[in-house]
């Protein structure tokens, strides 16, 4: 067996594993959900990505922070689709789960504040903005939220 045919077999095996994990393996962990949803988002199939995230909420093995992360992803996808009311509900679920736990900055947090403003929930947007800015004590990237401060003053 030549070296070239060995590498071909390895490549086919890795490709098969990737296809299995992306399409056929039922997600059991947060990483599985992330992989499957990202693949569908790459293919611009937001409905399937939303279905993966929503199915993931049923997994008993997830932590509260991971569930909040799923709600953030759902809210971000809904906001991209222009469904701001549903996005605001999803973001609200995420922040109810997170509470005072520490987490890293994500650009979807800006989207969350915008979704609350676009649905007329200015008080909730301001409260969330203030809470997120206070988290800059442990993660300086939360200061990026100052970019949307003028949105809240309207």
Give pLDDT tens digits for 36-46.
888 888 878 88
Asked whether 72 and 106 are in contact (CB, 8 A), the reply is yes
Which residues span the domain enclosing 85? Answer: 64-154
82 and 154 assigned to the same domain: yes
93 and 109 assigned to the same domain: yes
70 and 119 assigned to the same domain: yes
For the segment 124-143, the average pLDDT, to the nearest whole number, is: 83
* Rounded-to-5 percentages of helix, strand, coil across the chain: 75, 0, 25
What share of the chain in percent tops pLDDT 90?
A: 5
Cα Rg of the chain, angstroms = 19
Number of independent structural domains in the chain: 2
pLDDT value at 152 more than 80: no
69 and 113 assigned to the same domain: yes
Supply the pLDDT for residue 25: 66
Reading the block at residue 88, the tokens are 């605001």
85 and 145 assigned to the same domain: yes
Reading the block at residue 80, the tokens are 């991209």
107 and 132 assigned to the same domain: yes
| pLDDT one-digit tens code per residue, 41-94 | 887 888 888 988 888 888 888 888 888 888 988 998 898 888 889 999 999 898
pLDDT value at 22 more than 80: no
Residue 78: closest CA among 98, 50, 107: 50
51 and 96 assigned to the same domain: no
**Boundary of a domain, candidates 34, 62, 90:** 62
Angle of CA points 40, 41, 42, to nearest 5°:
90
Q: What are phi and psi of 145, to 5 degrees?
A: -65, -15
pLDDT value at 21 more than 80: no
Residues 6 or more apart whose CB falls under 8 angstroms from that of 128 comprise 95, 112, 113, 116
What share of the chain in percent tops pLDDT 70?
A: 91
Burial class (CB in 10 A: 0-12, 13-18, 19+), 84: buried
3-state secondary structure of 128: helix
For the segment 4-11, the average pLDDT, to the nearest whole number, is: 76
Confidence at 154, pLDDT banded by 50, 70, 90: low
- pTM score of the predicted model: 0.76
The DSSP secondary structure of 74-108, one letter per residue, reads: HHHHHHHTT-HHHHHHHHHHHHHHHTT------TH
114 and 136 assigned to the same domain: yes
25 and 58 assigned to the same domain: yes
Please report, for the domain that includes residue 128, its CATH number. Answer: 1.25.40.10
104 and 140 assigned to the same domain: yes
76 and 113 assigned to the same domain: yes
**Boundary of a domain, candidates 62, 80, 100:** 62
**Boundary of a domain, candidates 62, 87, 106:** 62
Supply the pLDDT for residue 71: 92
148 and 82 assigned to the same domain: yes
State the number of CA atoms in the 13 A half-sphere of 88 facing the CB: 17
């Amino acid at each position: 067996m030549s070296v070239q045919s060995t590498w071909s077999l390895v490549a086919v095996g890795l490709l098969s594993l990737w296809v299995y994990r992306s399409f056929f393996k039922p997600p059991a962990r947060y990483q599985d959900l992330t992989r499957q949803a990202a693949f569908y988002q790459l293919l611009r199939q937001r409905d399937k990505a939303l279905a993966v995230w929503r199915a993931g909420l049923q997994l008993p093995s997830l932590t509260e922070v991971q569930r909040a992360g799923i709600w953030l992803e759902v809210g971000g996808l809904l906001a991209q689709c222009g469904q701001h009311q549903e996005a605001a509900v999803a973001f609200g679920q995420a922040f109810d789960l997170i509470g005072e736990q520490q987490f890293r900055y994500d650009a979807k947090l800006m989207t969350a504040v915008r979704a609350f403003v676009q649905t007329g929930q200015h008080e909730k947007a301001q409260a969330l903005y203030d809470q997120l800015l206070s988290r800059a004590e442990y993660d300086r990237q939360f200061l990026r939220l100052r970019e949307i401060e003028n949105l809240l003053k309207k």
